[in-house]
Structure 1
Amino acid sequence: MFGGDPTRVAEANSVAVIGLGRFGQSLALELMAKGTEVLGIDGDEEIVQSLNGQLTHVVMGDSTKEQTLRQLGLPEFDRVVVAIGSDIQASILTTSLLLRFDIEHVWAKAVSDAHGTILEQLGVKHVIYPEKDMGKRVAHLVRGAMQDYIEIGENFALVKTRPGQAVIGKPLGEAQIRSRYGVTITAYRPAGQDWNYTTADTVIQADDTILVAGPTQKAEAFSQLT
Structure 2
Amino acid sequence: MGKYLHFLRQRRRKRPAEHNASHGHGDQRVAVIGLGRFGSSLANELMRRGWDVLGVDTDAQLVQKYSDDLTHAAVADCTDPETLRQLGVHEFTSAVVGIGTDIEASILIASNLLEAEVSNIWAKAISRQHGKILERLGVHHVVLPEHEMGERVAHLVTGRMLDFIEFDDNYALVKTVAPDVATGVPLGESGVRSKYGVTVVGIKRPGEDFTHATAETVISKGDVIIVTGKIHAVESFAELS
* TM-score bin (small chain): over 0.9
Whether 2:195 is the aligned partner of 1:196: answer: no
Shift of 1:158: 0.6
Residue in structure 1 matching 2:189, options 174, 187, 195: 174
Aligned length: 221
Distance 2:189 2:111 in 1: 55
What does residue 119 of structure 1 align with?
Answer: 134
Residue in structure 2 matching 1:164, options 176, 179, 182: 179
Most deviating of 17-26 and 66-75: 66-75
Cα offsets for 1:137-179 (capped at 9, x unmatched): 1111111111111111131111011111112222212211111
Residue in structure 2 matching 1:59, options 57, 74, 77: 74
Does the aligned pair in 2 maintain the 1:185–1:211 contact within 8 Å?
A: yes
What does residue 63 of structure 2 align with?
Answer: 48
Distance 1:132 1:118 in 2: 16
What does residue 86 of structure 1 align with?
Answer: 101
Name structure 1 gaps, 5 residues minimum. Answer: 6-10
SS in 2 for 1:134: helix
Most deviating of 41-50 and 109-118: 109-118
Distance 1:142 1:56 in 2: 39
Whether 2:147 is the aligned partner of 1:132: answer: yes
Does the aligned pair in 1 maintain the 2:27–2:93 contact within 8 Å?
A: no
Distance 2:225 2:34 in 1: 37
| Cα 1:121/1:173, change in 2 over 3 Å | closer
What does residue 97 of structure 1 align with?
Answer: 112
| Cα 1:178/1:63, change in 2 over 3 Å | same
SS in 2 for 1:32: helix
Q: What letter matches 1:140 in structure 2?
A: H
Distance 1:121 1:183 in 2: 33
Q: Identity across aligned pairs (percent)? A: 50
Does the aligned pair in 2 maintain the 1:79–1:104 contact within 8 Å?
A: yes
Whether 2:9 is the aligned partner of 1:2: answer: yes
What does residue 8 of structure 1 align with?
Answer: none
What does residue 15 of structure 2 align with?
Answer: none
Shift of 1:4: 4.7
Name structure 2 gaps, 5 residues minimum. Answer: 1-7, 13-25
Whether 2:85 is the aligned partner of 1:70: answer: yes
Cα offsets for 1:175-205 (capped at 9, x unmatched): 1111111111111011221211111221112
Distance 1:36 1:214 in 2: 33
Taking only aligned residues, the RMSD between alpha carbons, in angstroms, comes to 1.5
Whether 2:229 is the aligned partner of 1:214: answer: yes
SS in 2 for 1:203: coil
What does residue 106 of structure 1 align with?
Answer: 121
Shift of 1:117: 2.3
Residue in structure 1 matching 2:36, options 11, 14, 21: 21
**Which segments of structure 1 move beyond 3 Å, counting only runs of 4 or more?**
none
SS in 2 for 1:59: strand
